[in-house]
Amino acid sequence: MAFAGKVWRLLVGVKDALALVFLLLFFALLFAVLTARPSADSVREGALLLQLDGTVVEEVTPLDPLSLLLSSAAPTREYAARELVEAINAAAEDDRIKLVALDLSTFFGGGQVHLQAIGAALDRVRAADKPVLAYAIAYTDDSLMLAAHADEVWVDPLGGAVIAGPGGERLYYADLLERLRINARVYRVGTYKSAVEPYILNQMSPEARENATALYAALWEEWQDDVRRAAPEANIALVTQDIPAWLAASGGDLARATLAAGLADKAGTRVEWGDRVAEIAGRDDWDETPGTFIHTAFDPWHAEIERKAPSAGMFRTGPRQIGVITIAGTISDGDAGPGQAGAERIVRLLDDALDNDLAALVLRIDSPGGTVTGSEAIRRAVLRHKAQGTPVAVSMANVAASGGYWVATPADRIFAEPSTVTGSIGIFGVIPTFEDALAGWGVTSDGVKTTPLSGQPDLFAGLNEEADALLQASISSGYERFIGLVAASRGISRARADVLAQGRVWDGGTARQLNLIDQFGDLDAALAWAAGEAGIEDEGGWYPVFLGADETPLPPFLRAIMGRQQALAPAGDLFAAVARSHRARLSQALGEIESLLEVNGAQARCLECPPTGAALQPATEWEHAGLWGLVTQLLRG
């Protein structure tokens, strides 16, 4: 009985401790919500402060509160490109906003198409005679692309700017796999389908090099054109051609070299930049912290926009609505997303909309593809809308390649941007087998078979000739189906489709010349075309409805917490930016190894496409304790 009493007291103690923990957590979260002021009521006359602490994506991944609580690292903030453009456009037209303050100290980047759209919105602010002031310690390609659209670009005296340009090196594992005696059995169709090359080669093939050279040259030219138009004084050649000479001319001072190259206008600290903003916006009398100014942050500003104009026609019905379905991230067969293109979820959204009497349908694609089965499921769901006579348009964002192009084939018209990456029309599959590695440890296999395919494919005993032929045949037939869809969609012969395919990746400009897309234009252009096809192009006669938009908003209290994290996150210098880049590259390498060990079916996926969205997000050093760490900091004041 004494033992039972001790156990009982222990259980009661654990219960009381847990109750205390969750009580403290509740009040900490309440404090975060009340102090972060995320509501529309906190909009103030002054500056719109865009402190972009994270990445720009097509579709925000919702946060799981339980995972956030238990995680050892807090997640990197994601900003929807469309929401940022809406916020900046509204700032240009609202008399309460005197300027836009763009803090890029902890900006991790985004896709080139998204950054061009945000830059164009900043230009509209300047056209409304409202200045844009940017600040960062370390500017890299993505942050420079936005800062170029500012009236004043400030760089910290301890920082500077570096232009790397697109491209870089990949890791190749063929020699490692040979040393480990792991057989990477590759099945593919397409001379340029280089996604599998890291598993079978120790360097880039000539075909892959040819394709990558052309693609990155086009993207690099687009980047330079955008920056030159926004900031004609920027000397890009000086910064990229003879870097040692450029630095030596400024005595090795990177901040001075940045000013000399016209990449920044002024050198100053965050406080000095804030004082300059305060000259226009006014000083915040409620906050005596040096460098403060009257401002409205992104979250409350966008909350007011949504309150005045509920999210793009949600909850409205009728024959004048245009449905928009977002296909962002890797395409999978399951229910993943938003932020990932789970085919089961997307198909459900499309089928639910069949009864909504849509006037037209627009597919917004920002995906490198994924599984063949998932891509085909989405395509068939789109065809069910076409069977009802619904016009279908596709709007390509940063990437719409491989499976991303597969789902675009039902479209009546395809819109893209010159910086869009598309094509990669090809299929592959990789299966690792370990018979040689096991044999080295003295492990063999034996058994009884009734047919040549009994027990196949066998990852431990290896694949026999029959299984090998079967798997390659499935990939080959899938490729033939792919080019058949492309031929029918683009009105070309199968032979021509095969020439354009072969897994080759194209930039948007080349894709237009090759008739893989129809015209340049953003999502608004695709919506306008769809309205015209539906016969409802008159002004105010139609409205977009973003299918599944109710799944994506961040809960208000989590928005408040993420806003608090912005204040806690330190800005990084050039070395911190390099470290973030290396961590992202390490994550990519681990992902490549993981994809080898996971057999997920035939893939219509562009692994060689430039990374966007979640792929740009490294874990940062300050994210040391997730939500619980944040709560601790809040309780400490």
What pLDDT, on a 0 to 100 scale, did the predictor assign at position 62? 81
399, two tokens: 């990437």
The residues, any chain, with a CB within 8 Å of residue 556's CB and separated by 6 or more, are 33, 38, 39
User: Active-site residue 15, yes or no?
Assistant: no
Rounded CA separation 96/296 (Å): 10
Rounded CA separation 263/230 (Å): 11
Helix 112-127 to helix 81-93 angle (10° resolution) is: 10
Rounded average pLDDT over 351-380: 94
How many CA atoms, within 13 angstroms, populate the side-chain half-sphere of residue 398? Answer: 25
Rounded CA separation 601/593 (Å): 16
Exactly one of 143, 193, 375, 395 is catalytic; which is it? Answer: 193
Backbone φ, ψ for residue 236 (5° rounding): -65, -40
Rounded average pLDDT over 593-615: 67
Whether residue 366 has pLDDT greater than 80: yes
27 falls in which pLDDT band (50, 70, 90)?
Answer: low
- 418, 397 in Cβ contact below 8 A? no
Domains of the chain by range and CATH? Answer: 37-163+231-306 (3.90.226.10), 318-548 (3.90.226.10)
pLDDT single digits (tens) 79-136 = 999 999 999 999 999 999 999 999 999 999 999 999 999 999 999 999 999 999 999 9
| Weakest mean pLDDT among 217-221, 396-400, 431-435, 523-527 | 431-435
Question: What residues does 189 pair with on adjacent strands?
Answer: 427
Helix (H) or strand (E) holding 561: helix 556-568
The residues, any chain, with a CB within 8 Å of residue 323's CB and separated by 6 or more, are 353, 356, 358, 360, 361, 362, 544, 545, 547
List of E strands, 350-441: 360-367, 369-371, 392-401, 413-416, 421-423, 427-433
Rounded CA separation 195/197 (Å): 6
The residues, any chain, with a CB within 8 Å of residue 206's CB and separated by 6 or more, are none
| Weakest mean pLDDT among 144-148, 165-169, 193-197, 208-212 | 193-197
**pTM, entire model:** 0.84
Helix (H) or strand (E) holding 46: strand 46-51
Exactly one of 332, 375, 402, 489 is catalytic; which is it? Answer: 402
Average pLDDT score over the chain: 84
What pLDDT, on a 0 to 100 scale, did the predictor assign at position 566? 45
Rounded average pLDDT over 384-407: 96
The residues, any chain, with a CB within 8 Å of residue 193's CB and separated by 6 or more, are 424, 426, 427, 428, 502, 503
| Weakest mean pLDDT among 13-17, 118-122, 294-298 | 13-17
Is the sign of the CA dihedral 605, 610, 613, 616 positive or negative?
positive
Whether residue 235 has pLDDT greater than 60: yes
Closest CA to 402 of 218, 565, 603: 603
User: Active-site residue 402, yes or no?
Assistant: yes
- 530, 360 in Cβ contact below 8 A? yes
416 falls in which pLDDT band (50, 70, 90)?
Answer: very high
Q: Residue written as tokens 């593809």?
A: 369
Whether residue 438 has pLDDT greater than 80: yes
Q: Residue written as tokens 């997307």?
A: 346
Whether residue 377 has pLDDT greater than 90: yes
What pLDDT, on a 0 to 100 scale, did the predictor assign at position 189? 83
